[in-house]
Amino acid sequence: MVAFDARRDLEEAATRNERLVAVLAAPDAETLRRLIASGGTGTIVISRDEGRVLFTSSGLPELPATKAYELWLMDPAGPRPAGLLHRGADGMTAPLVLVALKRDDRVALTVEPAGGSDRPTTRPIMLAELPRA
């Protein structure tokens, strides 16, 4: 069972890395950097051709165990949760590769309860306009 779990984890990591590389290497990839109000910097790479957004950050302050950083993709209808950030001891977060819809026009970062939220409960500490295709 341990070997099966390790193989599955390896396959998931390989798929995640393939998606990450596809976004970074896409001919239409655009990189944005935005300051985060609570400290740190968010880096966003978008490829409309790939239909994906990559997000990572550095310098994020540590949060209490009851809170988490949550990322949102936003379109004219409003925000939808895109994932929780996992902050390392150095304040950096692992890259998240998100599926972007054609109508998505912004990415936001908020501080939410530890398990995340269905809708933002706080004002964004980072908000970035996404470039159009």
Angstrom CA distances, 3 to 9, 10, 12, 14, 64, stand at 10, 10, 14, 16, 35
How confident is the model over 5-45, as pLDDT tens digits?
666 656 665 667 687 788 888 999 999 999 999 999 999 99
For 56-75, what is each residue's pLDDT tens digit? 999 999 999 999 999 999 99
pLDDT at 4 over 70: no
Report the predicted TM-score, pTM, of the whole model to 2 decimal places: 0.86
How many residues does the structure list for the chain? 133
Number of domains composing the chain:
1
Do residues 87 and 73 make contact, with C-beta atoms less than 8 angstroms apart? no
Task: Write out the residue range of the structural domain in which residue 112 sits.
Answer: 2-129
